[in-house]
Amino acid sequence: MLTAEQNDELTQVEPGTRMGEVLRRYWYPVAFTRELEEFPVKRVELLGEFFALWRSPSGRYGIVPEPCPHRKASMAYGVVEANGLRCPYHGWVFDTDGACTEQPAEKDNTNFQERVRATAGRVEELGGLVWAYVGPAPAPELPRFDTYVMEGFRDIGWADLPCNYVQIMENAVDPHHVEFLHGRYFEFVGRHEGFTAPASFGKEHVRIGFDAFEWGIIKRRVLKGATEENDDWKVGHPLVFPYNMRVGGGGIHQMQIRVPINRTTTRFMLYTVHAPDGYEHVEQPQVPDYEIPVFDDRGRHVTNYVEGQDIMAWVTQGAITDRTTEHLGRSDIGVAMLRRMFREQMDVVERGEDPLGTIREQHDRIDLPCEKDKFHAGGAQFALDFCDMGSTRFSPVLDTIKKIHISAADKIAAERAG
């Protein structure tokens, strides 16, 4: 267990806090690309602060704190122009570097204009998402992880959850919950709602393991009936520090994203690429996004799909988990390892060094280790179970996704038969 002070430090996201300063060294998705194409300015909250995010007519992006440096009116209601964002109140203009380029009522006071700046962050578009960095300069490179740049058909699920991001990340290094939450509990819900839960989630764990690596922690498992030669152990999949988890199987490649909006709100995102063996290119002019259901009309958690079960477990711990009264066992070694990693990176940043996973060089793609034959279930079957029992079943392009996997499986079967 942690002391109250340790739990408080671990879960903070605000500027000036030890963990908040670590988090400000990373890039975060703050909007869907389509949102700023539909309307070019948006108010966004990130790490307990509000910002104005905009896209110029030429396609350049910018982000500045929401309050205008002049009289604190909201820049999120600003006018997007070719050279920057104009405050709606008095017309001051700020460019993407934060420089004040116009002060209409102060035309004869040029020195004043030069003394005024907004604290601008950096913004880039990648993979259907708009990413922002709001930490100290110089900004690191935006990581081009494989899921965001690979060939395939993609969609993005999302939900804003009323809890701190750390309890979600701790779930990423907790393998044993799968056989109970997604196994026995899933079967229980299925019996009462009239469906059959996928058997692959209920397999018993024989061994678990964790390895620190350059991006975070690789999680490994051996399931009953499998060996250390199976993907779940030999390859595993990574928690990508500090707020992602990469998973996969059956031609499905997914990054689970947990953005700390504020201390008690996390935007949970499922960035999924469907690219099974035998995949044939499908045109996709825009990456679709869909809201993941969290509560039903009675206010109860929706738990008849895998991620809904996870969400229930995270949110019912409370807005911030009380770690002063918990009882960790040997099965929680991954959780303890992650907490040590958080503390170590706080010390790293306090020393003025770059935290884990910082990239300073331009690159085309970062491939993360990730199992292909997940749960020793067989690729095609796992993919169909994923479509039927995972959040993707709420996607507006579910029919297309199913056709992709079925067509690829049929193609492979025909090649083997021939």
What is the full per-residue pLDDT of the chain (418 aa) written as tens digits? 899 999 999 999 999 999 999 999 999 999 999 999 999 999 999 999 999 999 999 999 999 999 999 999 999 999 999 999 999 999 999 999 999 999 999 877 778 988 999 999 999 999 999 999 999 999 999 999 999 999 999 999 999 999 999 999 999 999 999 999 999 999 999 999 999 988 777 788 999 999 999 999 999 999 989 999 999 999 999 999 999 999 998 899 999 999 999 999 999 999 999 999 889 899 999 999 999 999 999 999 999 999 999 999 999 999 999 999 999 999 999 999 999 999 999 999 999 999 999 999 999 999 999 998 887 655 667 788 888 889 999 999 999 999 999 888 888 777 777 6
Q: What is the pTM of this model?
A: 0.95
CATH of range 33-133; options 2.102.10.10, 3.30.70.330, 3.40.50.720, 3.40.50.300: 2.102.10.10
- Are the beta carbons of 118 and 94 closer than 8 angstroms? yes
CB-based contacts of 352, cutoff 8 Å, min separation 6:
none
Of 194, 202, 193, the closest CA to residue 296 belongs to 193
Residue 182 Cα distances to 25, 116, 203, angstroms: 34, 54, 10
SS3 state of residue 324? coil
Strand partners, 356: none
Q: How far apart are CA 374 and CA 240, in angstroms?
A: 18
CATH class of 146-417: alpha beta
Helix (DSSP H) and strand (DSSP E) numbers for the chain? 13, 18
Domain boundaries, the chain: 33-133, 146-417
